[in-house]
Amino acid sequence: MDLLQSKWIPVRPLNGGAPQAITLEQLLCSNEHWLLSLPRDDMELAALQLLICLVQVSWIPEDEHALQGYVTKPLTIDAFRQGIANWRDTFCLDHPEYPFMQVKGVDAKEPTGMDKLLAGLTGATNCTFINEPGQGDALCGGCTAIALFNQANNAPSFGGGFKSGLRGGSPVTTLVQAVDARFTDLRTTIWLNVLTRPSLVTLMCDELQLSQLPTWQQPIVAGASIAAANIGLVRGLFWQPDHIELCPAIVAGQCSGCGQHADKRYSGFFKAKFNFTVNGTWPHPHSPRLFQVKKGETQEKFLAFTTSAPSWTQLSRVLVRLQPEKGDAQLPAAVVTQCAKIFRHAKTQLIVGGYRNNQASILERRHEVMAINQGWQNSPEIIEAVVQIGLNYKTALRKALYTFVEGIKTSEIKGAGIAVHEVAERQYYRQSELLIPDLLATLNFAEPIAKIDALRIQLHQLCTELFEQVTAPYHHHPKLVRAVAVARQSLRKHLSDLKQLQGGQNAA
């Protein structure tokens, strides 16, 4: 199965119709509108990302104008053939010598079931996953390629000495999609996330190294110490940090992933660990990066979901570029930055996805689409301000309730000793998950102040309500009456401090 030529892309027509598998040529060269069709949102994101990577390396737009052309018009058959001509046999899942994202002759005693390749399907801590049983029984070539790609690039390692990808074990991936009904289709979304040559040159400091072979054609040498700057575009986008080899395919039948009939299906793979180090950070175009100065040295890492706080709390890191002269900085994903620049007036949504993990265990799957109204591209500082307001009110509530929990030792006011501040924080996040994304989806970024002030009032109310709700069982408790009163006073003080900021100073 060749990813550039076979029917493997799991789609359904945008206007309704049966799921089916199509070729890359059908996807890129026709006017038909498709959507991805897989049973899991993380696998759909991985499929999208895999397609973006294939298109990125095969048809690099020379400039903005060329990219706009690709977005508006399907590729001609000639341009398609020209693009894939460079990659004969490179992206074949069952190539006899160089199979896609695998190495031949993996030294493993026992095969591993395909469910291990579907991130988070096995293991005890994944009770939050809703998965159809038997999903990993036997996968078609397409689903297998998507799962291989996802495991290598987006998911925590298999654990026990296996390596995770170039962005670490649980990077947040951010991509862009169009909102206009005519352009939400898969073809447009792919092109919106392809970098032009000038964007690539800036991102990779002129070192695209396009002739460098991917890891399955030129394996990583065991024990090697590799400078991230020496990893070229193709090798980096399709990086495979583990030794994996699919078991021979089994008989034809239904794929347990996409549900399509497949001539060849895969029910297991061999895996073996090996060691190497990558020094520095490869500037992956699909993730926000964070820079922190520690002991005079700048440390760079990719954004990850490290707590259960909702995604809006990370939005400024996803969208806003901060480059202070010295100190902490943040860079949105290169594809998001480019889209904001080239498609300044387009209505777009953000696709944000990642896993929250504890080492090899996945605790949470976080994949969502967030709408930000057009115009944010010109005023990213407003996003920063809205996120900060949301966090400030959360902190006010938490601080006041912490007083209730701990009491005040110097005044001999006894605290409740029950962590109601944690309960309130979770509820605050749950309710703000509707408020803040709704505001950003509809905000007029040219005149934001009235709506931002209305948000403050809503959050003020929310804090007061949640405070009364979580302390209600103790209102008449003789030993805690004073603690409730002191904490309530503290909340009023914090909220009134925040009210002083009203009038949009924060957004200025």
Site of interaction with Zn ion (CB under 5 A): 140, 143, 255, 257-258
Which of 146, 95, 153, 159 minimizes the C-alpha distance to 118? 146
Contact between 471 and 405 under an 8 Å Cβ cutoff? The reply is no
Query: How near is the Cβ of 256 to Zn ion at its closest, in Å?
Result: 8
- Give the DSSP per-residue string, 404-458: HHHEEGGGTEEP--S-HHHHHHHHHHHHHHHHHHHHHHH--TTS-HHHHHHHHHH
Write the single-letter amino acid at 147: A
* Rounded CA separation 101/246 (Å): 10
* Rounded CA separation 120/156 (Å): 9
Query: How near is the Cβ of 40 to Zn ion at its closest, in Å?
Result: 12
Q: Name which of 40 and 366 has its Cβ closer to Zn ion.
A: 40
Query: How near is the Cβ of 141 to Zn ion at its closest, in Å?
Result: 8
Contact between 52 and 177 under an 8 Å Cβ cutoff? The reply is no
* Rounded CA separation 284/175 (Å): 12
Q: Name which of 61 and 257 has its Cβ closer to Zn ion.
A: 257
Query: How near is the Cβ of 258 to Zn ion at its closest, in Å?
Result: 3
* Rounded CA separation 196/337 (Å): 12
* Rounded CA separation 133/325 (Å): 52
Q: Name which of 219 and 259 has its Cβ closer to Zn ion.
A: 259
DSSP state at residue 236: H
Write the single-letter amino acid at 45: L
Q: Name which of 134 and 478 has its Cβ closer to Zn ion.
A: 134
DSSP state at residue 268: E
Q: Name which of 34 and 191 has its Cβ closer to Zn ion.
A: 34
Q: Name which of 3 and 315 has its Cβ closer to Zn ion.
A: 3
Which of 330, 351, 327, 328 minimizes the C-alpha distance to 339? 351
Which of 203, 437, 168, 176 minimizes the C-alpha distance to 304? 168
Segment holding 464, helix H or strand E: helix 449-471
Residue 405 dihedral angles phi and psi, to the nearest 5°: -70, -45
Query: How near is the Cβ of 38 to Zn ion at its closest, in Å?
Result: 8
Q: Name which of 5 and 379 has its Cβ closer to Zn ion.
A: 5
Contact between 214 and 235 under an 8 Å Cβ cutoff? The reply is yes
* Rounded CA separation 45/172 (Å): 11
Query: How near is the Cβ of 54 to Zn ion at its closest, in Å?
Result: 17
Query: How near is the Cβ of 266 to Zn ion at its closest, in Å?
Result: 10
Residue 483 token pair: 């603690």
Those residues with Cβ within 8 angstroms of residue 61's Cβ, 6 or more apart along the chain or in another chain: 67, 69, 70, 194, 196, 197
Query: How near is the Cβ of 381 to Zn ion at its closest, in Å?
Result: 44
Query: How near is the Cβ of 8 to Zn ion at its closest, in Å?
Result: 8
Q: Name which of 136 and 169 has its Cβ closer to Zn ion.
A: 136
Q: Name which of 137 and 364 has its Cβ closer to Zn ion.
A: 137
Contact between 483 and 407 under an 8 Å Cβ cutoff? The reply is yes
Query: How near is the Cβ of 263 to Zn ion at its closest, in Å?
Result: 12
Q: Name which of 18 and 446 has its Cβ closer to Zn ion.
A: 18
Q: Name which of 9 and 143 has its Cβ closer to Zn ion.
A: 143
DSSP state at residue 473: G
Query: How near is the Cβ of 143 to Zn ion at its closest, in Å?
Result: 3
* Rounded CA separation 281/275 (Å): 18
Query: How near is the Cβ of 252 to Zn ion at its closest, in Å?
Result: 12
CB-based burial, 37-76: b 16+ in 10 Å, e otherwise:
bbbbbbbbbbbbbbbbbbbbbbbbbeeeeebeebbeeebe
Q: Name which of 140 and 387 has its Cβ closer to Zn ion.
A: 140
Residue 285 dihedral angles phi and psi, to the nearest 5°: -75, -10
Using alpha carbons only, how large is the chain's radius of gyration in Å?
25
